[in-house]
Amino acid sequence: MLVRAYLHNKLIKPKEKVVIYGAGHAGVQLAIALSQGSDYQPVLYVDDDKRKQGSIVQGLHVYSPAELDELIKDYKVKKVLLAISDAPQSTKRLILRFLEPFPVEVLKIPSFTDLIEGKSKIQELRSVEIEDLLGRDCVEPDMDLMLSCAQNKNVMVTGAGGSIGSELCRQLVRLAPIKLVLLEQSEFALYEITKALSEICALRNLQVDLVPVLGSVTNKDLIGSVVANYGIHTLYHAAAYKHVPIVERNAIEGAKNNVLGTYYAALAARTHGVEKFVLISTDKAVKPVNVMGQTKRAAEIIVRKMAEKPSQTTFCSVRFGNVLGSSGSVVPLFRDQIKRGGPVTVTHPDVTRFFMTIPEAAQLVIQAGGMADGDGEVFVLDMGTPIKIKDLAYKMVHLMGLDVKDEDNPDGNIEIVYTGLRQGEKLHEQLFDEDDGFGTSHSRIWRARQSRMRDFNMESYAVALLKACEAQLEEVVKKLLLQIVDSDAVQDQGYQNVALTQYQGNVVGLVK
């Protein structure tokens, strides 16, 4: 018996003590679920509601958050479980900021939607994301704008498997289109988004014809035939290479995908009578100093030029900054670095960026497309206040229950190392060329002030760029990018052609 008891104590792992933040229905259900089998032992609740403080709920005392510092020390707690899934984003943000200084990891219960739809159980705890700390409450969408480009229409999304493209698809499929055509060059990404959309359709009993198309926007014939064959009414062009250092080192592929891909998609839309064409752009297109930004500025200009010619298509661009958690962004990079024990690499202590959650960005893109009236305008999403990347790194370290190691705290867990700005990077991005833009009917969507473009032959430009790309003439490609970006503003000396006729023995064309 003694041996059995000894082995039992050795083999049975003691439960970890945790605090549940929120003594409401969700907190009670979480405590019950954890008591029925988990690695956690709830020892108390904290709740902001003064009426609950001092009471006993499900056998556990409810305390004020003001007492949390002492409670963490007394109970030796290392985790706080956030059980307020249906609270407004602003409330969650305040709670997380309150918890940030404490030496605890914060976990959260699944979203209210996932619980209601049966996708997750309440005890399936998740890490708190930086979106929870930096995100904001969404403005109630204008459903007329949301539905105008999707309901009972054939909709196409290029780059459908990407961060923004996939979220656009998830929101569009709920707006009851007839067809949703998904163009994606990554087979795995196309499989994943098709599977996810099929599950949404099955769960919500949506009768949407999902059409996965494997291919690239640089295939002019493919994109033209897809638009024509499926009778596309609305085209969201989200396909793009967006990673600044990668595109800087691969200017030819960046120009092919971001510039020629936009030209082919917009040309197909105009040729085949698409009603709305919406380009997904970026703040890096404003006064661009890197190849990626130049390609996206060129894409905006192409969309404006397309809008100048009479057609059935309404063209527009929607410009915004970084989205939290997208592939290639600093958020997943920092998360991986923290999990490995650091260091976290930041380019510069003063560098700032705009951030927005992916769902909010996609929702605003759809509404901006609904506002477009046909002159190729550029809509700009209100991104809020720029965030210091250094502060973002500190917040992510604290969210994972760790401390930053610096001069003030030499015993911290994670060091932050400054690596210097990379080629083509700015300290600060901006969303407008001018001081500001024009307001719209939506508080978070602006119209950019547009300078008059100098005249140039878009078709000849596309031919020249294609020939330069095919001949692998990177310097010519870069000159062509600079030429179209410079042509975006009227100058006193007027428009001057750049003849690029002979380069390393290759004829690459003339921009007229």
HSE-CB at 505 with a 13 A cutoff on CA atoms is 0
pLDDT at 193: 98
**Residue corresponding to tokens 């002030």:** 449
Spatial neighbors of 252 by CB under 8 A, at least 6 apart, are: 468, 469, 472, 474, 477
* Rounded CA separation 481/251 (Å): 10
Of 213, 130, 200, the C-alpha closest to 167 is: 200
**Residue corresponding to tokens 């197909």:** 268
Burial class (CB in 10 A: 0-12, 13-18, 19+), 211: middle
Active-site residue set: 284
Neighbours of 491 (CB within 10 A): 10
Query: Are 87 and 124 a contacting pair, CB within 8 Å?
Result: no
Query: Are 228 and 284 a contacting pair, CB within 8 Å?
Result: no
pLDDT at 249: 95
Q: How many helices (H) and strands (E) does the chain have?
A: 19, 23
pLDDT at 139: 75
The structure tokens listed for 337 are 């670095």
HSE-CB at 47 with a 13 A cutoff on CA atoms is 24
Query: Are 132 and 96 a contacting pair, CB within 8 Å?
Result: yes
Spatial neighbors of 124 by CB under 8 A, at least 6 apart, are: 109, 110
**Residue corresponding to tokens 């052609």:** 497
pLDDT at 450: 74
pLDDT values of the chain reduced to their tens digit, one per residue, 512 residues? 555 555 445 455 688 999 999 999 889 988 998 888 778 999 999 999 999 999 999 899 999 999 999 999 999 999 999 988 777 777 888 898 899 888 898 888 887 666 655 666 776 787 777 777 776 666 788 899 999 999 999 999 999 999 999 999 999 999 999 999 999 999 999 999 999 999 999 989 999 999 999 999 999 999 999 999 999 999 999 999 999 999 999 999 999 999 999 999 999 999 999 999 999 999 889 889 899 999 999 999 999 999 998 899 999 999 988 777 666 678 888 888 998 998 999 988 888 887 788 888 999 999 999 999 878 899 988 877 788 888 888 888 887 888 888 888 888 888 999 988 877 677 777 666 655 677 777 778 888 877 777 777 899 999 999 999 999 999 999 999 998 887 554 332 222 344 344 333 343 443 33
* Rounded CA separation 200/216 (Å): 26
Q: Could you tell me where the beta strands, DSSP code E, fall in 33-75?
A: 40-46, 56-57, 60-63
Please name each of the domains of the chain with its CATH number.
Answer: 14-128 (3.40.50.720), 143-448 (3.40.50.720), 455-512 (no CATH)
* Rounded CA separation 185/218 (Å): 10
Q: Which residues of 464-483 are buried (b: 16+ CB within 10 A; e: fewer)?
A: bbbbbbebebbebbbbbbeb
Neighbours of 341 (CB within 10 A): 10
